[in-house]
Amino acid sequence: MTITIDRADWADEAGTELRRAQRAELDARYGSDDHEPGTPPSGDDIAVFLVARDEVGTPVGCGGLRLLGEQRAEIKRMFVAPQARGTGVAVAVLRALEAEAGSLGVVELLLETGTAQPDAMRFYEREGYSPIPAFGPYVDEPLSRCYARRID
C-alpha cells in the first residue's frame, strides 16, 4: 500500500473520524467508555498530529505527540483503520512520529496501551519499545501497559 503522511490540525475532519473509530474499538474491547486514565489529548496539548492516507486519499491511520518536558513526549491516538492493518501503515506512522519527535529535540518516546490490546503490545515491542513502569496518570492503573524507546 502506498501511503502519504502529513501533519494535520487536531480538529481535522479525517483525524477526528479516525479518533472516533479508535474510541469505538476501544470501548468495545474494554466493555465501557471509561478506560483512559488522565486528561484526554486535545488540540491544546498535542504538539504534532499526523494523518496517513492511502493512494486514493482515504484516511487510514493517525497518531500524535504530547510533549512531556524538554526531551520526552508521549505517543497519543496512534490508530490504523482495520482495513489497512498489516499493510505497513502502523510502522510508517510510528516512524513519522519518531522523526517529528526528533525534530522537536525529543530523545525518549513513551506510550501507554492496555491489557485488552495484545496486538498493540506485540507491535510496540517488535518496533523497539520496551516495557517500563507506569508513568504519570497510568500509575496504579491495572489495565495500563507502558512502553518507552530512546530515539536518535
38: which DSSP letter?
Answer: S
Residue 64 pLDDT: 98
pTM over 0.75: yes
Is 110 in contact with 73 (CB distance < 8 Å)? yes
Residue 137 has pLDDT above 90, yes or no: yes
- CA–CA separation, 114 and 30 (whole Å): 9
Q: Which of 13, 9, 8, 15 is nearest to 79 (CA)?
A: 15
Annotate 48-109 with three-state secondary structure: EEEEEECCCCCEEEEEEEEECCCCEEEEEEEEECHHHCCCCHHHHHHHHHHHHHHHCCCCEE
Joined grid coordinates for residue 42: 486535545
What fold characterizes domain 4-150? Aminopeptidase (3.40.630)
pLDDT in tens, 42-94: 999 999 999 999 999 999 999 999 999 889 999 999 999 999 999 999 999 99
